[in-house]
Chain A
C-alpha cells in the first residue's frame, strides 16, 4: 500500500514538472491588445497575421469596436494601443494620463456612389453641387446646375434620393468634414461629426446599409468607403478638387492627396486631408491612426509594439493596395521613423 502511494506521488510530481516545462518552453507569446476603428480592421488583421507568423513571440488581439470605443479604451489604459479614423479632440486628450502619439497607418477615401439608369459612370460633381444635393436644395437629377457639368451624360428626369450613414462613423466624419470645408452653408447649418442632423435622406446602417439603399433605389446618391465601393463595383462620381480638376476616386488619387498634405504635415499628424491641394488629389480622403502612449509602462510590450509599428510603416505598406487602402507617401514614412524613436520606456527609446 505504501508503495502504491509512493508511485502515485511520483506520477503527480512528474506531471507537475512536465506541465511547468511545457509552459516554459512555449515562452508565453507576448499578447498586445488593441481596440478601435472598424475601417482599417481588414488591413490590421492581415498585418497581425503576417507579423505573428514571422515573429512567433508576439500575438495581437484587436477588437474593432469603433473609433470612439478605441479612444475610450486607450484613455482608460485597458489596451496597449487604440485606433481611430478621427484625430482625438483637445477635450478628449485632456483626459489622458500621459502624452499620446497619433500614428497614421493608412489612408482611405470616401466615395460618392449613385444609382442612375443608363449612367454607369461619368457623373461629375462640384463641391457646391454635392453640398446642394445633401442640403436638399438640388432635388432633381436633370437640374440645370447638374446638367451644366455633365453635358455628355443623359440625366433622367427623376427625384434625387439621398442616402447617408445612420450609425456614428468615421466615414461620416470625413464626408461632413469635407462638406463643411468647401461649403459655408453646410458649415453653418449641419457641421461636422461622426453623426450629424441630416437635412434630408434615408439612413442606412454601415457601408452595407447605405449601398443597399443606393442599389435598391433608382435615383439614389450616397457615400461609402472607397474599398467598399471598389469591391462592390458601384458607380462612383468624379469630384472637382481644389485646383479645378475632376478626379475619380482611386488609390493613386488618395495617395496624391496625402502626398500634397504631407508637405504641411504637423508633427503630431493630427490633420485633415480633405480638399487637399494638387491637381491629382481626390478631395475626400482621410488618414486612420493608431494611438500609442509615448511613455510605455512595460518594456517588453513597448519594445514589441514599436518593432511592429516599424514593420507596419515599411513592409506593411506593401500590403495596403491589395486590400484597397492607399499606402502612406514616402515623406510621411520618413517622418514617422523619427516619431517612433520617441516612444520610450523610462527615457530609453524602444526603436
Chain B
C-alpha cells in the first residue's frame, strides 16, 4: 500500500512538473506580447490605426506608417509560395515515385543541405549571383516586351520585390519538399497498387492518391514555408531594395517588416524605436493570424479527406 501511494505521489509530482514547464512556455509568450505592447505604446498613442494605412516613413520628421512594410512582407512571401510550391511538390513526386534509386539519396540530401545554409549566405549569393542573372536574363527582356503591364513595369535595377520572392522561394523549397515527401510516403502502397491494378495510369494513380490523401499535408507544408518566408530577415533585406514605397511592379523595390526592424533598430530612439517595435508586434499578429487561418483550413481539409476515403 505504501509503495503504491509513493508511486501516486511521484505521478503527481511529475504531473505538476510538466504543468509547470508548459506554463513557462505560456508565460514566455505572454511576456513577449506584453513587452512588445508596452514598448510600442508611444507609437500606438501617437498614430493609432493610421499606422497601418499610412505609407510615410520619415525618421527626420518622426512620421511613421507601416503599410509599405506589410505590403512588402505579404507580396514577397506570396511570390515565394507561387514559385516554391509547384516546384517542391513536383520534385517530391519525382523523387518518391519516379526517380531511380541511385538518384533518390543525392537529390534529397542536396535539397536538405539547402535548409542548412545560413540566411546571410543566401543574401550575399542573392546580391552577387541571383540579382544580376535575374536582371539581365529575365527582368530586362520582360520589361522590354511586357513593360506595358503594370506588374512588369521598369526601370529595372536588380534589387526588387521579385528578387526577394525568388530568393525566399529557394530558401523555403527544402522545407516544403521534405514535408511533402514525408506526406507522400504515408500513402499505403496497397492503395497505389489497387489503382494501378484497376488499369489506372501513373498519373491517375497520383491524382487520386495525392488528391485524396495528401492535400492536407501539402497544405500544411505550404504554411510552414509561408511562416518562414514571413519572418525571414537578412536575406530579404539584402535583395529587396529597402524602399518604403508601394509599387505595382514586382521589378521595383520594396521593403519588408522584418527588414526595416533589422535595418533601423540599432540606431533608432524615441518614436522611431517605438514604431519599429509596433511593426514587430504587427508581424507577430500577422504570423499568428496566418497560422490560425491555416489550422482552421487544415482541419476542414482533413475532415473532407477522411470522408472521401
Contacts and interface: CB of A to CB of B under 8 A. Distances in A.
Interface string A146-172: 000000000000010100001111000
A196 interface: yes
A191 B60 contact: yes
Interface residues of B, number: 32
B191 interface: no
A167 B264 contact: yes
Contacts of B267: 66-69, 167-169, 194-195
A193 B60 CA distance: 6
A198 B127 CA distance: 21
Interface string A208-232: 0100110011000000000000000
Interface stretch (A44-52, A129-137, A199-207, A306-314): A199-207
A192 B241 CA distance: 21
Contacts of B155: 159
Q: Is the interface of A mostly helix, strand, loop or mixed?
A: loop
A172 to B, nearest CB: 9
Contacts of A192: 60
Interface in A22-77: 65-69, 72
B132 A216 contact: yes
B266 A202 contact: no
A321 to B, nearest CB: 28
A167 B131 contact: no
A138 interface: no
Nearest to A189: B60
Nearest to B154: A159
Interface in B14-65: 56-61
A197 B59 contact: yes
Interface of B: 56-61, 124, 127-128, 131-132, 155, 157-159, 237-238, 241-244, 253, 255, 259, 262-264, 266-269, 272
Contacts of A204: 238, 242
B159 A202 contact: yes
B263 A166 contact: yes
A217 B157 contact: yes
A67 B267 CA distance: 7
A216 B158 contact: yes
Given A191-B60, A205-B238, A212-B127, A68 B253 contact: no
Interface residues of A, number: 31
A271 interface: no
A196 B60 contact: yes
Contacts of B263: 166-168, 195, 203, 205
Nearest to B253: A202
Nearest to A91: B270
A108 to B, nearest CB: 16
Given A68-B269, A212-B127, A197 B56 contact: yes
A216 B238 CA distance: 13
Contacts of B128: 212, 216
Contacts of A265: none
A344 B164 CA distance: 54
17 contacts: A65-B266, A66-B267, A68-B267, A159-B155, A168-B264, A169-B267, A197-B56, A202-B158, A202-B241, A203-B255, A205-B242, A209-B238, A212-B128, A213-B127, A216-B127, A216-B132, A216-B158
A131 to B, nearest CB: 16
A190 interface: yes
A216 B266 CA distance: 27
Q: Sort A-B residue pairs by CB-CB distance and give the 9 closest, nearest first.
A: A203-B242, A168-B267, A166-B242, A197-B58, A191-B60, A66-B266, A68-B267, A167-B263, A212-B127
Contacts of A168: 59, 263-264, 266-268
A198 B61 CA distance: 13
Contacts of B259: 166
Contacts of B266: 65-66, 68-69, 167-168
A319 B158 CA distance: 40
Contact of B243 (A194, A202, A205, A209): A202
A134 B89 CA distance: 45
Contacts of B243: 198, 201-203
B246 to A, nearest CB: 14
A313 B238 CA distance: 38
